[in-house]
Amino acid sequence: MKQYISKNEKETMQIAAQLAKKVKPGTVYLLYGTLGAGKSAFCRGFIQSLCPDVQDVPSPTFTILQTYEAEEFDIYHFDMYRLKREEEAFEIGIEDAFIEGVSLIEWPEKINSLLPKNSIKITILIQEDQTRLITIEE
């Protein structure tokens, strides 16, 4: 387990970029945290570090999935917040993402029983001083 303190969005993105340096296809990251904790900022830093030509990395809250082409694999950025049933994840091809690419999943608790056992858990907690405590459990 590793822990980091982030003072702002830029630092959160830098922590994510460091994590992205060692990623391999088939890796699944689960991002936990309340609304506004910084899950999307973390994903933005991760994606932009591997896809430098990508300027805009919106939260996929309404589309549920955004896909990005990195050099060696695709990155699947999921936001499960709006799912009503776990089975809806199959409709957007989540099983292919788990095998072929790298997955970043916001609100993974919505599809708990579908998650691979070897997923990496990232928890972002807002501290009293508004810094973020980022915990990475591999």
Predicted local distance difference test score (pLDDT) of residue 63? 84
pLDDT, tens digit, 9 for 90 and up, residues 12-33: 999 999 999 999 999 999 999 9
pLDDT band at 34 (very low <50, low <70, confident <90, very high): very high
Q: What does pLDDT average to over the chain?
A: 94
pLDDT, tens digit, 9 for 90 and up, residues 81-120: 999 999 999 998 899 899 989 999 999 999 999 999 999 9
61, pLDDT greater than 90: no
Strand partners, 79: 106
pLDDT, tens digit, 9 for 90 and up, residues 42-59: 999 999 999 988 888 878
Q: Could you write out the DSSP letters of every residue in 66-131? A: EEEE-SSSEEEEEE-TT-SSTTHHHHTTHHHHHHHSEEEEESGGGGGGGS-TTPEEEEEEE-TTS-
Predicted local distance difference test score (pLDDT) of residue 62? 78
Hey, where are the domains in the chain? Answer: 2-137
CA-based R_g, the chain, Å: 14
Predicted local distance difference test score (pLDDT) of residue 11? 98
Reported CATH class of domain 2-137? alpha beta
Query: How many angstroms separate the CA atoms of 99 and 4, rounded?
Result: 29
Predicted local distance difference test score (pLDDT) of residue 93? 87
Grouping H, G, I as helix, E, B as strand and the rest as coil, residue 48 is helix
pLDDT band at 125 (very low <50, low <70, confident <90, very high): very high
pTM: 0.94
